[in-house]
Amino acid sequence: EADIYQTPRYLVIGTGKKITLECSQTMGHDKMYWYQQDPGMELHLIHYSYGVNSTEKGDLSSESTVSRIRTEHFPLTLESARPSHTSQYLCASTGQGANEQYFGPGTRLTVT
């Protein structure tokens, strides 16, 4: 079983609030990813990181930002949440040269 964790698992928040979704992994993986998934739809890559101090935007435009100060942590921040940000956010990681991408349990975000 993968050692990748996300908190909170569920979050309901009002419009305009700042939120941070936490993701951590204890496998020492260099590459980490954030995906956004709406019900019945495919996962879309919104951010990724090759390692510490490396962050890039993914395929899907997102108003969120990420940081990678430590190998094991890859938090995602929304400065001002809006109803359009309502979605499931999945964090994943991959080891150097590995094929397997391990996913966290996800954060279900609802912005009212």
Partner 1 sequence: KNQVEQSPQSLIILEGKNCTLQCNYTVSPFSNLRWYKQDTGRGPVSLTIMTFSENTKSNGRYTATLDADTKQSSLHITASQLSDSASYICVVKDRGSTLGRLYFGRGTQLTVWP
Binding site for partner 1 (CB under 8 A): 6, 31, 40-45, 48, 50, 88, 90, 92, 94, 99-106, 108
At closest approach, how far in Å is the CB of 50 from partner 1?
Answer: 8
Residue in the structure block whose two tokens are 């996800």: 106
Nearer to partner 1, 38 or 79 (CB): 38
At closest approach, how far in Å is the CB of 68 from partner 1?
Answer: 14
Bridge partners of 12, per DSSP, are: 110
Asked whether the beta carbons of 108 and 9 are under 8 A apart, the reply is: yes
Nearer to partner 1, 76 or 92 (CB): 92
Q: How far apart are CA 6 and CA 18, in angstroms?
A: 17
At closest approach, how far in Å is the CB of 105 from partner 1?
Answer: 5
Nearer to partner 1, 12 or 41 (CB): 41
Nearer to partner 1, 10 or 18 (CB): 10
At closest approach, how far in Å is the CB of 103 from partner 1?
Answer: 3
Bridge partners of 5, per DSSP, are: 24
Q: Could you give the 3-state DSSP secondary structure of residue 88?
A: strand
- Report, in angstroms and rounded to the nearest whole number, the Rg of the chain calculated over CA atoms: 13
β-strands 107-111, 10-13 pairing: parallel
